[in-house]
Amino acid sequence: MEKKRHVKKRIVALIVAGVFVLIVGFTALGLFIGYRLCDAHAYVWTPSYRKLPEEELRELFFKELKTDEDYKILFDQTGLTQIGIERALLRGERGWQRVKEIQGSYFRPREVDSEEFAPFICTDHINDLSKEIYLEKGDILITSSTHFSGFRIGHSGVIIDPYSQTPVFQSNAVGVANGFDKVEFGFTDRINFMVLRIKPEAFGAESVLDEVYLKCIDDATDFIVNELKDGEYFPLTGVFSDKNKCKKTSCSHIIWYGFKHFDDKNGGARNIDLDPDGGLLVTPRNISDSPLVELVQTFGFDPEKLYE
């Protein structure tokens, strides 16, 4: 009788172990299939319509009174919204040269180079750099180029000093302190990126030139660096820890946390919450979907869909 019970226990243990192995195996297979499918479909979106000749684009760029249709054509040709175009116009001829370069980059086909840096995690790079518009303090950079299995988890950073060689503050690797980097190390070297800025009305301002807006951007970016420069990277910040505390952080969390909490010392009246779904995690896509941000530039994303 004792021997039968022992045999039965062994059979149950073997069944449990077998089921566990099957679950792990099927999970790994699913992750692998998702990874390969996502990898196979990595691409840089480029326009299929006519590229305007340089003289036509120049005439439209320098046109004094532009219509909404003019700005739409400029967007279709460059990925620059009215905000991006106006940043270039402030630089005159130098700005035109940048826009011309951006148009060339926008239309140029790219090869994709996928780099696996952890199991089932990959970043999709391009073989030559794209070109960004003039960046400003507080701008947010987003890319969907990093994927875990079939999920495009993306990456993000925030501009602290646009005149620095390393203007982007970001959190991007386990064991590496949050810090500054070049735009071409994480964004313009990827299959896509977008530049966003916080809308003036989010701060109760009428324009980006208002003192209120400029002060809030200064305070928020200073807060991000001072509070989060020593943060530890953890991709699941918010799942196993309180996302309103900053001992653990991630690329999108530092942006969300900075704008959410920079005004706490004044009672938190601003309360700029860039996570529209209010979930545990804050992702780059959450930030790009926020109604509190507006698009400055897009590259490599389908402009009809952006981060989908």
Q: How confident is the model at residue 292 (pLDDT cuts 50, 70, 90)?
A: very high
Average pLDDT of every residue of the chain: 85
pLDDT of residue 178: 87
Calculate ∠ Cα 221-89-287, nearest 5°: 35
The pTM of the full predicted model, rounded to 2 decimals, is: 0.88
Domain boundaries, the chain: 1-41, 135-299
pLDDT of residue 266: 67
Of 119 and 47, the structure prediction assigns the larger pLDDT to: 47
Superfamily name and number for 135-299: endopeptidase domain like (from Nostoc punctiforme) (3.90.1720.10)
Of 19 and 295, the structure prediction assigns the larger pLDDT to: 295
Q: How confident is the model at residue 25 (pLDDT cuts 50, 70, 90)?
A: very low
Q: How confident is the model at residue 86 (pLDDT cuts 50, 70, 90)?
A: very high
pLDDT digits (tens, 9 = 90+) for 97-119: 999 999 999 999 999 987 776 66
| Nearest by Cα to 46 from 249, 302, 242 | 302
Strand order in 293-299's β-sheet? Answer: 179-181, 168-170, 155-159, 140-143, 193-198, 293-299
pLDDT digits (tens, 9 = 90+) for 163-203: 999 999 998 877 778 889 999 989 999 999 999 999 999 99
Of 179 and 70, the structure prediction assigns the larger pLDDT to: 70
